[in-house]
Amino acid sequence: MASNQLSPGVVIQERDLTTTAVVPTANVGFLAGPFEQGPVEEIVDIVSETQLVEKFGEPNDYNYEYWFTAANYLSYGGLLKIVRVTHSDLKNSCDEGTAPLIKNLDNYEGSFETAANTWTWAARTPGSDGNSIGVFVTDAGADHIAVLPAPGSGNEHEFVADEALTAASGAAGSVFKYSIVLTVDTVVGTFVPGTSTTIGIGGSAEAVTVLAWDATDKKLEIALPSGGVTGIIADGQTVTQGTNTAVIATSGIERRLYIIKDKGSVDFAATDAVTDTNSTSVVITSVREEYQEREYSPGAKWISVAARPGTSQYADSKGGFRDELHILVIDIDGTITGTPGTLLERFLNVSKASDAKTTVGENNYYPQVIKTKSAYVYWGEHETDVHNANSSASAGNWGIGAENRSFNIIRSAAGGPSYPGSTIAIGSKNNSSYYYRLQNGASYSVTGGFYDISNTDLAKSYDLIADREAVTVDFVLTGPTGNSDVSGLSKINTIKQVIDLRKDCIAFISPRRGHIVGVTDPQVVTDNVVNFFKTLPSSSYMVFDSGYKYVYDKYNDKYRYIPCNSDIAGLCVQTTILTDPWFSPAGFTRGVLRNVIKMGYTPNKAQRDQLYANRVNPIVTFPGQGTVLYGDKTALSFASAFDRINVRRLFLTIERFIEQAAKTQLFEQNDSEQRGFFLNIVEPYMQTVQGRRGVTDFLVKCDESNNPPEAIDRGEFFAEIYVKPTRTVNYITLSFIATRSGVSFSEVVS
């Protein structure tokens, strides 16, 4: 071979003659069902019951057959790919507007992330559980609460939101909010925020606005109307709201001016004089830090969560100002966790700036943080109920770059209510804590006591595994077959289309619930089961069983009947783990079902004969020996090597291995040497299978006789693998012969 070097030198070359193939993991199940939570039409890998609960929620009265099908399979040790089925009734909870259906992350990114949504926050997954979610958000907010004295004469102070404030000290800012907190006594009734209210001042009923009422501490927060009131509010005056009344207590008035400072301003301080909207000067009595008192719900302060959000290091480096947010996600009603008010997750010091980064370079823009890290919510729109930080409102909009930008500040007109009630916290209305309560989430409709999902909806889920190259699946679990023979046949045909297309997996199918549960006559059950399975098509890629088993539901403290198809698939998993896939999963050695309290139907010998003759594998309880899979047939309707589970699984296993070996031949030289490489991979593997009792004999043919020159010219490569599969024992006859004394056994045997 000529060298391609033009001057003296050494070139090192390597050639790999150790090519082999590895069998992909062969214990992968698949189930599509109507789970209570989790992404919709997205394949999720589940390896344990704990993970099943975390991702798809606990079972309920409407989906437990599907749920325990999944949990039951996982108990045998397999990996389960789960798809939550879609439905037109499904909706994600949201804070306002029409509830959307956000199926999964891909759907969110494609249809909602950049859309003009009518909601600010939505639950991460569809269903009614999201109606328990509350989202609390705060930002820098006001800097100070300046306490003002009563006017010396004339009328009450009047401060209008967003008006500029300055002091001789050099402090500069604007009015964030102005309210008066009254401590009252002699209370009659309960005051309702937003309801017409008056205070008797100098004999005149002056209108005020109730912002919040704290019945426990007898505090009433009020705001003055535009134009203020005539006169000065004082101790002993009566507050009236319909039939509700209260008297202002002695020293029971605190006038609060909430101030937000300009960028770079010094703090306002006691003795600073500020001017109200009527150009009346008032000297500040005292100043408190507003964030120390800010509550997201009555009695729950933000300061107990984290320090005040302000300006991030990134925004500061860009000349930005007040970009940080704190976000809490809380289980308001306790539907999700079982405990009302449980903190589900929190996101601290995230940014309003679209280009924001953390100190370690991660994206810190709050919609992106929520998208990538939240398990409970999606972001939909930026908040517009804000204090404008600039002369132009749009200049401080969220979701723009941080450079030289002072971001608008939250100012919630709704205030922060208690949960699960709706009491507004004192100081929260028109302040910088926002509460978004999600609502209008909806789950599947219910028909006949179970979630109603159509075959069309199921087909969309099964389509996700149609491509065998994209998704590895060994076992398709049916779960419940359907609420009628017609719907059951439709579901099975949908599954069959997928497995016939793939030809590398097996579907496991149980009878309909109505065929067994509640039917007391075993012969009627037998006839029901046989007649149903007679309507199903023939296939060596399907396995029928006869069972519904009784299990305990620890999540709801109930006993329930569930189909056994996940057990049969689980026994196949167990067989692979303990021996090899080409062994039968039936019998007393490998075929004992787990987690069985009792069977809904256990056939006798005559009924087993009837079932087995019609492709149905009986599940039988033997006293003292357990509940056993007592058959290993596939659903093939004619005699063949492939009418046994172990033979079908043998071929699926060796086909998958040899397919992987064949892929390594693609685009290689099509000559005898390459065919030799292929044989050197396949033959040792088949010898291993033979040594492990999978086949009694085999032949691999890949030479000039089946790779003629014309085939080579077309770029074709042919190999033929002849296999004699090992069969299982299905029928045992034991003959006991009594003989006379003195008779030779050799004579009797012959």
Distance CA 133, CA 488 (A): 37
For 239-278, the pLDDT digits (tens) are: 999 999 999 999 999 999 999 999 999 999 999 999 999 9
For 497-507, the pLDDT digits (tens) are: 999 999 999 99
Residue 22 has pLDDT above 60, yes or no: no
Distance CA 9, CA 15 (A): 20
Residue 18 has pLDDT above 70, yes or no: no
Structure tokens at 236: 């002993």
pLDDT attached to residue 673: 82
Residue range 410-432: average pLDDT? 85
pLDDT attached to residue 731: 65
Residue 17 has pLDDT above 70, yes or no: no
pLDDT attached to residue 735: 66
Give the burial string for 493-520 (b: 16+ CB within 10 Å, else e): ebbbebbeebebbbbbbbbbbbbbbebe
DSSP string over 716-730: ----EEEEEEPPPP-
For 437-457, the pLDDT digits (tens) are: 999 999 999 998 999 999 999
pLDDT attached to residue 254: 97
Pair 554, 58: CB distance under 8 Å = no
Those residues with Cβ within 8 angstroms of residue 511's Cβ, 6 or more apart along the chain or in another chain: 481, 528, 529, 532, 533, 545, 546, 547, 548, 563
For 388-406, the pLDDT digits (tens) are: 998 888 999 999 999 999 9
Task: Please report which confidence band the pLDDT of residue 16 belongs to, taking 50, 70 and 90 as the band edges.
Answer: low
Pair 499, 585: CB distance under 8 Å = no
pLDDT attached to residue 392: 87
SS3 category, 56 = helix
For 72-108, the pLDDT digits (tens) are: 999 999 899 999 999 999 999 999 999 999 999 999 9
pLDDT attached to residue 299: 83
Q: How many CB atoms lie within 10 A of CB 321?
A: 21
Residue bearing tokens 């079982």: 338
Q: How far is CA 742 from CA 438, 515, 746, 748, 749, in A?
A: 93, 58, 12, 11, 14
Those residues with Cβ within 8 angstroms of residue 77's Cβ, 6 or more apart along the chain or in another chain: 27, 570, 573, 574, 577
Q: Which of 726, 732, 731 is nearest to 579 (CA)?
A: 726
Pair 121, 84: CB distance under 8 Å = no
Share of the chain above pLDDT 90, in %: 78
Structure tokens at 663: 């892929």
pLDDT attached to residue 500: 94
Pair 365, 323: CB distance under 8 Å = no
Q: Which of 195, 202, 278 is nearest to 233 (CA)?
A: 202
Mode of pairing for the β-strands spanning 342-351 and 324-331? antiparallel
Q: Which of 433, 393, 412, 409 is nearest to 301 (CA)?
A: 433
Radius of gyration of the chain (CA): 37
Distance CA 257, CA 142 (A): 10
DSSP string over 520-565: --HHHHHHHHHHHHHTSPPBTTEEEE--EEEEEETTTTEEEEEESH
Task: Please report which confidence band the pLDDT of residue 5 belongs to, taking 50, 70 and 90 as the band edges.
Answer: low
Distance CA 652, CA 660 (A): 12
Q: Which of 231, 172, 163 is nearest to 203 (CA)?
A: 231
CA of residue 507 relative to chain centroid, distance: 26
Instruction: Please state the length of the chain.
Output: 750
pLDDT attached to residue 420: 66
For 572-616, the pLDDT digits (tens) are: 999 999 999 999 999 999 999 999 999 999 999 999 999 999 999
The pTM score is: 0.88
Q: Which of 418, 414, 417 is nearest to 430 (CA)?
A: 414
Angle 507-590-634 from CA coordinates, rounded to 5°: 30
pLDDT attached to residue 281: 96
Q: Which amino acid is at 117?
A: N
CB burial of residue 565 (10 Å; 0-12, 13-18, 19+): buried
Residue 660 has pLDDT above 90, yes or no: no
Residue 733 has pLDDT above 90, yes or no: no
Which domains are delineated in the chain? 28-87+446-635 (3.40.50.11780), 94-141+309-442 (no CATH), 142-289 (no CATH), 668-749 (no CATH)
pLDDT attached to residue 11: 65
Distance CA 141, CA 259 (A): 9
SS3 content of the chain, % helix, strand, coil (to 5): 25, 30, 50
Pair 675, 661: CB distance under 8 Å = no
pLDDT attached to residue 297: 84
Pair 366, 399: CB distance under 8 Å = no
Distance CA 375, CA 105 (A): 11
Pair 256, 429: CB distance under 8 Å = no
Residue 420 preceded by cis peptide, ω within 30: yes
Pair 220, 182: CB distance under 8 Å = yes
pLDDT attached to residue 118: 96
User: If you average pLDDT over every residue of the chain, what do you get?
Assistant: 92
Q: Which of 634, 625, 492 is nearest to 563 (CA)?
A: 492
pLDDT attached to residue 483: 87
For 552-564, the pLDDT digits (tens) are: 999 999 999 999 9
Those residues with Cβ within 8 angstroms of residue 703's Cβ, 6 or more apart along the chain or in another chain: 672, 675
pLDDT attached to residue 379: 98
